[in-house]
Amino acid sequence: MKRALITGISGQDGSYLTELLLAKGYEVHGIVRRTSSFSRGRIDPFYGAKVDPSGKLVLHYGDMGDEKNLRKLLEKVRPDEVYNLASQSHVGISFEMPEYSTDVNALGTLRLLDAINDYCPEARCYQASTSELFGSADESPQTEQTRFRPNSPYAVAKLYAYWMTVNYRQTYGMYACNGILFNHESPRRGENFVTRKITQTVARIAAGEADCLYIGNMDAQRDWGYAPDFVRAMWLMLQQEKADDYVIATGELHSVREFIAKSCAYVGMRIEWSGEGMTECGIDASSGKTVVQVDPKYYRPIDIDSVLGDATKAERELGWKPEVKFDQLVEIMMEADVAATQKVQ
């Protein structure tokens, strides 16, 4: 039985990856943080090997800031595969917490790579790199060859982690890969990322539980995919003959405004836009109510206007292709948030 270790197992991607690996019969070990209230809601359903009787889930307390703890865990678990998904993953918040974001995202990766190299150098490693590395990119779409121009503390820290992963591969011959993943979403997405904030609030507005969606930069454009498709790519990267780095993306670009309009359409609201910039708002055409308003507090000091990925290499070498694209993604997320709202009522 193969043994995998996942950092960030309680997050969106960690939960889908756990589900995938358990279904493949892996023994899955995950690192969770001590928190005052439990933060394991996403993985609770898989605890006790409910997905596949041959699979097994084991959780360990740990933190990317605690080097000794990581070293002890690697020595004890000695995994065949390591997926480093742990991160202070909110770009906006990284401007408020640059040092902490660097410690977790950059130095945390170094601590982990070093422990792997000392205790289980044959382990195959996946590093959660990101399209944020491209920042204000010089070209579109972005490929593995596109120059990195990170423009947030989050992205600068992830750039360090990217190059450390390459460095451990080159220096010590470790099988270490960077997945340069573009935005991927799901009903398990954290509630303060834009897509989930939209689907959750629109579902509440439709149920009469909220009046308005307060939002930041609606002109921002992203290449949004579906998290279960993207964790499949992570696993594929660790099953190749040779370690390499891959862009994973859908190749479709949509704006935040489009995401809002599509989500509203799902609950039968047609949005008419009026005003510009900070005064722009969205009005429900049938009721005349203002249901979308801009709040400057959701703007970032610097934002990425648009990122669009070209996953040709992943398709050619890994046989990976996204199964879900934008329209279906919005439907999946709206369906889940509408159902969750009805459950509460």
Nearer to ligand NAP, 31 or 220 (CB): 31
- Using the contact rule CB under 6 A, the part of the chain among 65-73, 125-133, 164-172, 324-332 near ligand GDD is 125-133
Dump strand ranges (E) for 85-202: 124-130, 175-181, 184-185
183 in contact with ligand GDD (CB under 6 A)? yes
> Can residue 197 be called a binding residue for ligand GDD (CB under 6 A)?
yes
Nearer to ligand GDD, 221 or 240 (CB): 221
The answer to the question of residue 282 lying near ligand NAP (CB under 6 A) is no
Q: In the bound complex, what is the minimum distance in angstroms from residue 315's beta carbon to ligand NAP?
A: 18
Nearer to ligand GDD, 216 or 228 (CB): 216
Which alpha helices (DSSP H) does 95-152 contain, by range?
A: 98-102, 108-119
Asked if 300 is part of the footprint of ligand GDD (rule: CB under 6 A), the reply reads: yes
Which residues are designated catalytic? 130, 132, 154
Query: Which amino acid, residue 315?
Result: E
How many residues of this chain interact with ligand GDD, rule: CB under 6 A?
22
Contact status: 64 vs ligand NAP (CB under 6 A): yes
The b/e string for 174-198 (b: 16+ C-beta within 10 A; e otherwise) is bbbbbbbbbbbbbbbbeeebbbbbb
Mention every residue, 6+ apart, whose C-beta is less than 8 A from residue 316.
none
Cα 10 from Cα 75, distance rounded (Å): 22
Name residue 126's beta-bridge partners: 83, 177
Site string for ligand NAP, 122-141 (x = CB under 6 A): ------x-x-----------
Nearest CB to ligand NAP, comparing residues 40 and 267: 40
Please tell me the distance from the alpha carbon of residue 113 to that of residue 106, in angstroms, as a whole number.
11
β-strands 175-181, 124-130 pairing = parallel
Among 190, 212, 255, 340, binds ligand NAP (CB under 6 A): 190
Handedness of CA 16, 20, 22, 23 (dihedral sign): positive
**Which helix (H) or strand (E) segment is 10 a member of?**
none
**Residue 13 within binding range of ligand NAP, rule CB under 6 A:** yes
# of chain residues touching ligand NAP (CB under 6 A): 27
**Residue from 24, 56, 60, 63 that binds ligand NAP (CB under 6 A)?**
63
**CA–CA distance, 125 with 127 (Å, rounded to integer):** 7
Give me the residues that bind ligand GDD (CB under 6 A), please: 89, 91-92, 130-132, 182-183, 192-194, 197, 215-217, 220, 222, 256, 298, 300, 303-304
